[in-house]
Structure 1
Amino acid sequence: MANQPRISTQPRLLLNTTGVIFEMADEIMPKLDDKGAQKLDTRDTGLPMWTAPVFGRGRTPGKKWSAQMNITIVSAERPSVQDGDQVHPVDLEALPWVSEQNGKTRSGVAFKASGLEVLSGPSALKAA
């Protein structure tokens, strides 16, 4: 029963991506643990986790921004996207975290999605 996903009691912080453009910044890679094995989403689904490096650009008038970020994709299969694809993260959520290491507290926000929908780019041309 150790491999069974837990039911999360934390509220999901789903993000509104209206007015945001996401573009793949590199290839998707398996998310690995410190021993080199692919991590599994043991908290919710038990599925493999993938790291999707993306450029995000907010295009709401008066609130333009850009950032590079990694989004963890939880999926049985490696998402079929490639560098340069414009994508839409499905069910994108923010996951605040805090850790303590060597007496120092660190915190941040991680991003997680259930998939990536290709909007345009090299992968969309192959599918046509």
Structure 2
Amino acid sequence: MPNQPRVSSQPRLLLDTRDVIFELADDIVPKLDGDGVQKRDTRDTGLPMWTAPVFGRGRAVGKKWTAQLNITIVSAEMPDVQDGDQVIPRDLEALPWVSEQNGKTRSGVAFKASALEVVAGPTAMKAAA
């Protein structure tokens, strides 16, 4: 079964976003491999992957923060979201990673979601009209 997604044995690290405001910071684009081909989620779904640059703002009392991050959206279609829309990432999870290249170890956290739901902004206004 060559094109079947693998089942991941790693636990999902789902994030609580109740006290976070997310805003799309730029256009969503296909996530491409080194050959310019759109990547697919081979771990779980087999669906195309999209990169959504967002601003995040934590608003819990005593724990306020801001950050710009990229969220990989795994979806058959590109999310219908515009720059500046306030969004909620669905099923947002953290994916810790480690990579070794040229004798140097790098690590970080990637973010993945199943969708972006628009809660405010131009796209939400069009839908309400």
Please give the range of the TM-score, normalised by the shorter of the 2 chains.
over 0.9
TM-fit CA distance, 1:95 = 0.1
Aligned to 1:108: 108
1:3-26 CA-partner distances (Å, limit 9, x unpaired): 110011110000000110000000
Matched to 2:55, the amino acid is: F
1:52-85 CA-partner distances (Å, limit 9, x unpaired): 0000000001110000000000000000001000
Matched to 1:11, the amino acid is: P
1:75-90 equivalences under 5 Å are 75-90=75-90
Matched to 1:60, the amino acid is: A
Aligned residue pairs: how many? 128
TM-score, length basis structure 1 = 0.99
Matched, 1:17 2:17: yes
Aligned to 1:53: 53
TM-score, length basis structure 2 = 0.98
Matched, 1:63 2:63: yes
How large is the Cα RMSD of the aligned pairs? 0.5
Query: Which runs of no fewer than 5 residues in structure 1 stay unpaired?
Result: none
Query: Which runs of no fewer than 5 residues in structure 2 stay unpaired?
Result: none
Matched to 2:117, the amino acid is: E
Paired with 1:15 and 1:124, the residues of 2 have a C-alpha distance of 24
Paired with 1:7 and 1:43, the residues of 2 have a C-alpha distance of 6
Q: Secondary structure in 1 aligned to 2:76?
A: coil
Aligned to 1:42: 42
Aligned to 1:26: 26
Paired with 2:27 and 2:126, the residues of 1 have a C-alpha distance of 16
TM-fit CA distance, 1:2 = 1.8
Q: Secondary structure in 2 aligned to 1:82?
A: coil
Paired with 2:72 and 2:52, the residues of 1 have a C-alpha distance of 6
Q: Secondary structure in 2 aligned to 1:22?
A: strand
Matched to 1:59, the amino acid is: R
1:18-60 CA-partner distances (Å, limit 9, x unpaired): 1100000001000000000000000100000000000000000
Structure 1 stretches of 4+ moved >4 Å: none
